[in-house]
Amino acid sequence: MRGIDLHTHTVVSDGTLSPTDLVALAARVGLAAIAVTDHDHVGAIAEARAAGARLGVEVVAGIELSVEHAAGELHLLGYLFDEHDAALLAALERLRMQRDARNARIVERLAELGMPVDLGAIVASASAGASARKGSRAEGSGAGAAPGAGASSVGRPHIARALVAAGHVASVQEAFDKYLGDGRAAFVPRARARPAEAIALVHAAGGVCALAHPGLVKRDASQVVRELSGVGLDAVEVWHPKNPPELRARLLALAEELGLAATGGSDFHGENKPDVTLGCEAVPLAALDALRQRKG
Ligand code: AMP
Ligand code: FE
Ligand code: FE
Ligand code: ZN
């Protein structure tokens, strides 16, 4: 039986495969459906869908949003929304403008620490990867494009790779551990919405919302799921590489109790997370049906 993978990234955010290559890989490993869930950007969905139509892989519209919580940063996954929704697109563009400003401050700090990197080149290279895609130049990518209007969502993983390329650190992980990770020397916080706001945004665009990788939540994940369930959460990501087995069992029971859908995916990022393979989680086909039911 062919599987599904509801958590994947492309070059439009911090993955390394183009949308077409991601879908081609999905077809090769025998997936029936994938959701494309780039950070703060829906720019990969149309191309992925076109590839999916050719290759027999269903492509579900997705997004990954970072939100603020007492437990620290949480990630929410939006699914099955209208990716042309004007309010959603405007909100995503605002988030990417905030990213641009924050990236500039991170790079300033790195320069002060004696590790200059060229932000213009980082953005151009991210956009070049993303805008190799047909039609994406219409979005305004590359040098001189309006802030936040780029073909890709640029963030710390891109800066980490530039630090490696410049020889300032040996690996992306070292870049995070020493400089870019929360609270490290060049860390700059990013403005984040509250969970209820992000959930409302996805709902208003006709979609549903899941809590991503509860295994990475720094407080009791069950408590966070209960709380978010009270502000409209539709689902919880039970199958994810960072969820230990005992947590999965607990989340399945909790989803049942609260009437939430149970979803899952690999969180595939290509070469940026080389130990994670597409389709590595055994996500039941029923997960997608359950999301559709929540939407209905
Ligand atoms: P940003 O959205 O720019 O804040 O970057 C967040 C992304 O950076 C996350 O989705 C992770 O892929 C990566 N990341 C964040 N913290 C770490 C860390 N400590 N080690 C490795 N990767 C990290
Ligand atoms: Fe990521
Ligand atoms: Fe995430
Ligand atoms: Zn992700």
- Residue 49's pLDDT is 98
- How many residues would you count in the chain? 296
Q: DSSP code of 19?
A: H
Pocket of ligand 1 (CB under 6 A): 14, 39, 155-157, 173, 176, 181, 190
**Ligand 1 mutation pick, 156, 169, 179, 182, max ligand atoms within 8 A of CB:** 156
Structure confidence by residue, pLDDT tens digits, 210-256 = 999 999 999 999 999 999 999 999 999 999 999 999 999 999 999 99
Residue linked to tokens 């209960």: 226
The three-class DSSP label of residue 36 is: strand
What spatial distance separates the first Cα and last Cα of the chain, rounded to whole Å? 26
Q: Ligand 1 centre and the CA of 23: distance in Å?
A: 24
Give the contacts of 204 (CB within 8 A, at least 6 positions apart): 85, 87, 88
The protein residue whose alpha carbon is closest to atom 3 in ligand 1 is 155
Mean pLDDT, the chain, integer? 93
Residue linked to tokens 């959603």: 88
Angle at 136 between CA 131 and CA 139, to 5 degrees: 115
Mean pLDDT over 47-71 rounds to 97
Neighbour tally for 191: CB within 10 Å: 12
Between the CA of residue 150 and those of 59, 140, 173, what are the distances in Å?
A: 23, 6, 26
Residue linked to tokens 């090769």: 28
pLDDT band, very low/low/confident/very high, at 130 (cuts 50, 70, 90): confident
Residue linked to tokens 């190799």: 132
Mean pLDDT over 55-64 rounds to 98
**Ligand 1 mutation pick, 180, 182, 187, max ligand atoms within 8 A of CB:** 180
Name the CA dihedral angle for 271, 166, 12, 120, rounded to a multiple of 10 degrees.
Answer: -170
Helices H / strands E in the chain, number of each: 10, 7
Distance separating alpha carbons of residues 146 and 138, to the nearest angstrom: 12
Mean pLDDT over 187-207 rounds to 96
Neighbour tally for 118: CB within 10 Å: 12
pLDDT band, very low/low/confident/very high, at 161 (cuts 50, 70, 90): very high
Give the contacts of 154 (CB within 8 A, at least 6 positions apart): 96, 99, 100, 103, 122, 123, 126
